[in-house]
Chains A and B, each alone.
Chain A
Amino acid sequence: MTDEFDPFIANLAKELREPVRLDARLDERIMAALEPEVISIATRRPEVPRQPWYRRTFAVPAPLGGLAAAAALAGIAAIGILATRETSAPQVAQNSGMEVRPVVNAPVDRSAELQPTQFILTDPTAKRVVLIGDFNDWDVDATPMAYDSTHGAWSVTIPLLPGRHQYQFLLDGTRYVNDPVAPQMSGDFGSPNSVVTVRIPQQ
């Protein structure tokens, strides 16, 4: 296969290189979308525990319930995603009139399918750990993790739609860490991300 000049293809390319007219306010719209209040529902922290799922105690598989054992691991040792046995559909606050972009692959009306999903990272040396992923547009402020000094572990539980999600942990605002116990895949940004697959619980 060679790249010989082809006048027919060259003519097509010339036509397709003509500039296109975009919305004159597109720049403005993009800059407005960067404002922190114009973000997806998944990035909005549950300010009050009004969501029923948030108040519940999740059943955690026994081996993972012992965070202390994992905390004994040297360096960073992630326990990963804990499958919950919660079977009732969790609820989230709906769009309250504010411009909200839909979660990737997740129309708002799928909120009843959201599954509470827990992430845990064991790293007693970190001062702050944030969960970032495609579910919160990789927002470094949206999903901070809480530290349990007893176990030396960071954890957070968030509602996720069934399907595959990419994520990482951001440590102290500078270190991006994959979950060592989760599978990885190549992400949009050229580096691998951890992957969690959320499934609808068996009834």
Chain B
Amino acid sequence: MRLLLLLSWPHARRHLLRTVLTTAGVVLGIAVFVGMYTANQSVLLAFSQTIERIAGKTELQVTAGEAGFGEDVLDTIQSSSLVRVAVPVIEAVVDPQLRSEGDLLVLGIDMTGDRSLRDYDLDSGDEAIVDDPLVFLAQPDSLIVSKDLADRNGLSVGSRLPLQTADGNKNFTVRGIMRPEGLATAFGGNLAIMDVYAAQHMFGRGRTFDRIDLALAPGATIEQAEKELSTLLGPGFDVQAPAGRGRQAEAMVAGYTMMVNISSVFALFIGMFIIYNSFATAVTERRAEIGILRALGATRGQVRRVFLTESLALGLVGSLAGLVAGAIIARGIASAISNLVGELYGVANQATEVATDPLVMAVAIAIGMLTSVVAAAIPARSAARVDPIHALRKGSHQVFSAEESRLRMVIAAGLALVAAASLLASESRLLFFAGYACTIAAAVLVGPTLTVRLTRALRPLLTRIRAVEGALAADSVIQAPRRTSGSVAALMLSLALIIAFGGMARASYGSIVQWMDAFLNPDLFVMPSQRLDVRTTRFPATMAPEIASLPGVERVQMFRNNRIMFRGKPAMVAALEMNSVRETGRSVPVAGNVDEMYAKAAAGTGVIVADIFSQLHDVHLGDVVEIPAPYGTLALPVVGIVVDFVDQQGTVFVDRSVFLEYWHDDTVSDFRVFVASGADLVDVRQRIIERFAGERHVFVLTNDEARQYVLRVADQWFSLMNVQIFIAVLVAILGIVNTLTVSITDRRRELGVLKAVGAVRAQIRGAIWLEAATVAVIGLVLGALLGAINLYYLLEIVQRDAVGLRLDYQYPTGTLLALVPIMLGAALVAALWPSEAAARRSPVEALAYE
């Protein structure tokens, strides 16, 4: 303890900035890991909370995919003696047309029976749910809103609230305000209740319900009721507890979750290297002090304990601050991820709470402290072991021994062999992931050796830029590879992730554009919402002939998509008018004959599946796809496999007649309009809008606008890359600052001599800047190389584990080129303070150091 006070505390006070930098390394490492993980968990938590709070006392829920089912199903369920109460529900996510408000979840319920399942208590205690329940039922514009929403927007009973409906924007009347607890807190409090029959009308649902919530009769068990209702209703219906819907939502975003988890693991590795580097830097910087202590009689154990205690303390402080910073990062990106997931998967959620998992917090703190201790222990141990005289000598400890380098290379080669073998020898996913881990480990191990070799290769270039400064910079890295190894490893991992994401983005864009050219080729899209992903509002089929009769319209196609469960996993059924699509689509199948494919699908004797669906469900040409639907089980062979991006879970394309037969639902998600040659696109668009003005709310998107929308959603998907780039820049700055700080401390005497023999400040500054740039360039080169391998692995994961998307390998040269100025800029920023510190130090002070 005395040693701690003697050595650590004065050092921390004297070198406050260094202490802060070291701690910052821990903070950044932990924050990145916790932030990424927590943001994702927050989104998943929002799903389950919304489902749980809406479910109330519901014991079982009956669903039949997204299309819902006819009202007669309610009678069937109510006829079961095992059911005490069964109430219909419609859910719709709508734009509340309120400034600074996100989407609003509108829950359509039957107030006459629903109160036994859900608690709608108003602000005023046990008062009636609304001022007048009969008025609530009689007036289809009636809404009950949550208190949070009312408070944020100054709403009270009697206020008007505009909502987007199938018939355009309509003003609704607030007739009740719910207390901010239980149900009212679902969907982040952005919740409104309306009558289920009014909801049918407002959202164009015909006479269908989305689901039926039920509570059991006294004495009945969930298993009994599940079994009886499943038998009563048939295979097209899902009868499950509310938690099951939560699991469905999780299954829907499983691919996304996997990608984020990979990012989190990378973030964790990067964080560990940052922490390691920060501590290794801090300890090696004080090697001379260790030598003095040892010379004065301190034992090796004492020295080791001092540094371990110090690293534990800093590790703890940094980890705790990292948790806070991680929570802030999570809060910042959770709502963005939430919106993205909503747009991609159409799953209603609103992440307003940060899901702090105590286990993850504990793991993060443990990782932070452990890495800090290991990072401090290795240099402290070696420093404590060496002779005090050697310890006082600068630089020698930063060199890897030939034996150590050889061992690293041998282990790396072994790991690389294991990785290669795991790819060639087996289809096992476990071996695949083990191989992936071996590849990353091998890259980290060969990093220092490659750093030295690359710097040697760069030396001529550096000396050409600046003869003296270049040589000094290169030699500094070559002579002390240990000093730069942590920074380079962190940079390499960070950049490898960016390169892989960039490659994925490029391949995805390429495929999406090809798909849009082939399939998304109508001139106009007539939709009930500005968003292509909104499926809660639909059109009646009767609009098709009305649009077709407008001047300038050559062809109208009805498109209907509907979320289903296939083999327990979410998928999409898309109903098309196949005979019409075969004449307008130019889709070349991945498997199957194009003419035969469309002919059979149009005849209702086969289905076409998306490549994603084929990959995710291991379904091939000729296989029979069985889809349980509300009115029978659809069982048809796959007659073609096409590349398609309609849905990330994979789509099954059926002829519209087949959909009508098995779902009894003729509503339309959107109309696809082909304009006659010679007709003006703008005029036709205007005619469609005017035809339905005041009658229905229609949005007409041109082909360009639809394409832009699709690409924007793809952009959002890859927006995670921006977070990674930001982290990479931070990693670069922090790593390089650490590296340079040690470098100038180690070379204080050398720099002092240089100044004494006439070197000017600009030369010292230049040498430090070039060293920083060298570290950045090496990080870039190694990151680019590892990124190439990482891209291969990620594409494999995307295809086989996450999304089922077969993407071509295309190295993202553009991303790499864009990273060059970013990383060099980060290096220069990082070098600002160390270069000034070195340049301004007096030569007398530097020479007197020892």
The answer to whether A and B come from one shared complex is: no
